[in-house]
Amino acid sequence: MAQIREYIPIVGQSVIEDLQLLADRLRGKIIQHINSTAVGGGVAEILNRMVPLLKELGVDTRWDLIKGGEQFFEVTKKFHNALHGRKESITQRDFDIFMDASSKNIEEVVITGDIVFVHDPQPIVLVKKKSDNKWIWRCHIDVSNPNQKVWNFLKEFIGKYDSVVFSAPSFSQPLPIRQFLISPSIDPLSDKNKDLPQETIDVVLRKYGISKDKPILTQISRFDRLKDPVGVIEAYQQVKRYIDCQLILAGGAAVDDPEGIEVLEEVKEKAKKDRDIHILLLSQNDIEINALQRASTIIIQKSLKEGFGLTVSEALWKAKPVVASNVGGIPLQIKHKYSGLLCHSIDGAAFAIKQLLNSPEYAKKLGENGREHIKNNFLLTRHLREYMLLFLSLYHQGDVVYL
Ligand code: UDP
């Protein structure tokens, strides 16, 4: 794993010195992250890199997981969808299942943090264990238009935290506690994002039978309806009438996402016998994902809802032209017609894809601008800085932390 000094050539010496300065001020404090899965999805992706780097900077950082059975994760997935505004029938039984599993976790999870950093709704009830330490709730979901029943239920717990963090300004909600806006980030040196030799990319393409002779459109995402994989296929089919191309839909499973298998079946059904559609069920294989992104002509992220959309940052960092929905945190990353193309529908996605395939120079420029934008705003070093400032701010009452 990359060490902190290896980031100097990318972000500059002063950025790393700032991080060390902030870390020094956190000495003696234990930071404890808690979430529900170690692999799959954006939260695990970030913590896997952030935790070792904070440790290297000298901040005592730990990462614990809560446990939950099938029923619990079915309920939390329903909550997730409902918070994203999807219609879900949530019953009292769902709340009971959620509370039962939460009670078990309250018994089992040992709280060691001076600052306890709880990610997303699954472990939210743990805040009942709050003593004289500080608690942060980190919401990675787009809650701009949440189902009120679920939101009101969660609000009771959110109010017990010291602070809450959202990814985008539009997600902010009226709450009695301090709110922070901190966007997620990618690690430019992780296996997912580091430069790869062409040979490695070619090996992965050969492994999955993907041709280099036709343009490659790719969406990397968990098989989740909110990522609209079926909509991606429809957009591809529209494009394919005019331009011969291939589509890769690649995704794995996350233990806290039980819907994956069902959605995968829907996707396979939609793809039928088109040999140019490659549906890849990847186990956690960052090099392969990296290679597929780098091999792509265009990256798509046609989500119906999105917390932030790390896959968009990953694609832009690789200077790829991206067509993505104007939802959640995506417009923070893509300025329309400058660092990618935003779309609002399947037709819109198809139109944008055709435009980029027909104008390679324009597509290249969008990708280059996108890479610069990610470099300036969405790398892990910026994220580490903001989290450490947040930790320090918990010990200050006012809005400003003087360092
Ligand atoms: N990802 C992965 N394997 C997969 C699908 C996704 O490693 O099969 C990664 C993807 O590269 C990205 C993260 O999981 O880093 C997904 O984060 P995003 O914010 O795009 O969506 P989320 O899954 O959190 O809704």
76-126, pLDDT tens digit by residue? 999 999 999 888 999 999 999 999 999 999 999 999 999 999 999 999 999
Nearest-angstrom CA–CA distance, 302 and 236:
11
Task: Find the helix or strand (DSSP H, E) in which 245 lies.
Answer: none
**Ligand 1 center–CA 400 separation, angstroms:** 34
Q: What is the pLDDT of residue 399?
A: 55
Q: Choose the residue to mutate in 49, 138, 220 for probing ligand 1, maximizing ligand atoms within 8 Å of C-beta.
A: 220
Confidence of residue 403 (pLDDT cuts 50, 70, 90): very low
Q: Which of 1, 58, 7, 67 has its CA nearest to residue 28? A: 58
- Average pLDDT of the residues in 63-83: 96
Count CA within 13 A, CB hemisphere, residue 45. Answer: 29
Contact 24, 59 (CB under 8 A): no
Pick the residue whose CA is nearest to atom 4 on ligand 1: 251
Q: What is the pLDDT of residue 398?
A: 62
Ligand 1 pocket member 289 (CB < 6 A): yes
- Average pLDDT of the residues in 20-32: 98
| pTM to 2 decimal places | 0.92
**Residue 263 confidence (pLDDT) above 90:** yes
Q: Choose the residue to mutate in 228, 304, 311, 379 for probing ligand 1, maximizing ligand atoms within 8 Å of C-beta.
A: 311
Ligand 1 pocket member 328 (CB < 6 A): no
**Residue 401 confidence (pLDDT) above 60:** no
Question: What proportion of the chain, given as a percentage, has pLDDT over 90?
Answer: 90
Residue type, 347: D
**Residue 330 confidence (pLDDT) above 80:** yes
**Mean of the per-residue pLDDT values of the chain:** 95
**Ligand 1 center–CA 220 separation, angstroms:** 7
**Residue 283 confidence (pLDDT) above 80:** no
Confidence of residue 304 (pLDDT cuts 50, 70, 90): very high
Rounded to the nearest angstrom, the gap between the alpha carbon of residue 59 and the centroid of all alpha carbons in its chain is 24
Confidence of residue 282 (pLDDT cuts 50, 70, 90): confident
Q: Choose the residue to mutate in 35, 37, 45, 256 for probing ligand 1, maximizing ligand atoms within 8 Å of C-beta.
A: 45
Tokens of 58: 């000298």
**Ligand 1 center–CA 312 separation, angstroms:** 10
Pick the residue whose CA is nearest to atom 9 on ligand 1: 41
Contact 330, 306 (CB under 8 A): yes
Tokens of 100: 């039962």
